[in-house]
């Protein structure tokens, strides 16, 4: 009974989140077509098991924000840039440094420790830094089983920022395209890899997926 109620509540919350007409900062490192499909009104498919995994990550996240509440400023501050068409919530800030918490599974940490911080997380904190007027960030990974904490400082990189601005414009251009025209986009054009599609919540709605030969 409790599981059903809990799942219903988190589904309701997730549906409210989907309604934003802005590109979410957390989407910027992902597939541009997945963002465009959400903005076109396609609802993502999220299976219940993944929702529960996200909630555990969320709980770890909230705990760090709560324990550090006396030194973290702007916790969960909503940020929006009308010109860019981007919105998001930052985890917090300590002085002039943006703090971004990420939970990570033991499996992912073992498999990809050398790849941390992930490029899509660096992209996300660049949007936050830009919108907050900050030049420094720390991405903090918390391993969900052992509680190991890994910290990675990130400096604002102008070249990366220029690329992100282009990506934002590209997402907007995809939103304007009729859905049938999106069948022909390629992995190269989207600048994504196969794993994006493997874990994509918009796969069932994606007009390009069948042509991508994954």
Chosen residue from 34, 76, 118, 132 binding ligand SF4 by CB under 6 A: 34
Chosen residue from 14, 124, 209, 211 binding ligand SF4 by CB under 6 A: 209
Buried b (16+ CB within 10 A) or exposed e, 60-88: bbeebeeeeeeebebbeeebebeebbbbb
Residue 31 touching ligand SF4 (CB under 6 A): yes
The smaller minimum CB distance to ligand SF4, of residues 139 and 192, is found at 192
The smaller minimum CB distance to ligand SF4, of residues 61 and 203, is found at 203
The smaller minimum CB distance to ligand SF4, of residues 102 and 196, is found at 196
Tokens at 62, concatenated:
């909230």
Residue 22 touching ligand SF4 (CB under 6 A): no
The smaller minimum CB distance to ligand SF4, of residues 7 and 212, is found at 212
95: left (phi over 0), alpha (psi -120 to 50) or beta: left
Build a one-symbol-per-residue string for 37-56: x at contacts with ligand SF4 by CB under 6 A, - elsewhere. x-------------------
Residue 200 touching ligand SF4 (CB under 6 A): yes
Q: Where are the beta strands (DSSP E) in the chain?
A: 23-24, 78-81, 86-89, 92-94, 97-104, 136-143, 149-155
CA distance linking residue 214 with residue 200, whole number of Å: 13
């Amino acid at each position: 009974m409790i599981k059903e109620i809990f799942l219903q509540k988190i589904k309701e919350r997730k549906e409210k989140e989907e309604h934003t007409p802005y590109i979410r900062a957390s989407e910027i490192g992902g597939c541009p077509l997945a963002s465009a499909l959400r903005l076109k009104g396609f609802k993502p498919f999220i299976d219940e098991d993944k929702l529960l995994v996200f909630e555990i990550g969320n709980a770890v996240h909230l705990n760090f924000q709560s324990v550090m509440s006396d030194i973290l400023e702007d916790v969960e501050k909503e940020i929006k840039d009308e010109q860019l068409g981007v919105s998001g919530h930052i985890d917090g800030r300590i002085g002039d440094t943006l703090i971004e918490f990420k939970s990570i599974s033991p499996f992912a940490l073992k498999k990809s420790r050398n790849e941390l911080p992930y490029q899509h997380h660096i992209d996300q904190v660049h949007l936050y830094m830009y919108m907050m007027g900050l030049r420094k960030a720390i991405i903090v990974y918390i391993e969900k089983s052992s509680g190991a904490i890994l910290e990675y400082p990130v400096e604002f990189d102008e070249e990366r920022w220029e690329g992100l601005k282009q990506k934002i414009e590209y997402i907007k251009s995809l939103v304007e395209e009729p859905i049938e025209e999106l069948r022909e986009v390629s992995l190269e054009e989207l600048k994504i890899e196969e794993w994006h599609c493997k874990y994509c919540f918009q796969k069932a709605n994606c007009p390009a997926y069948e042509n991508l030969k994954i």
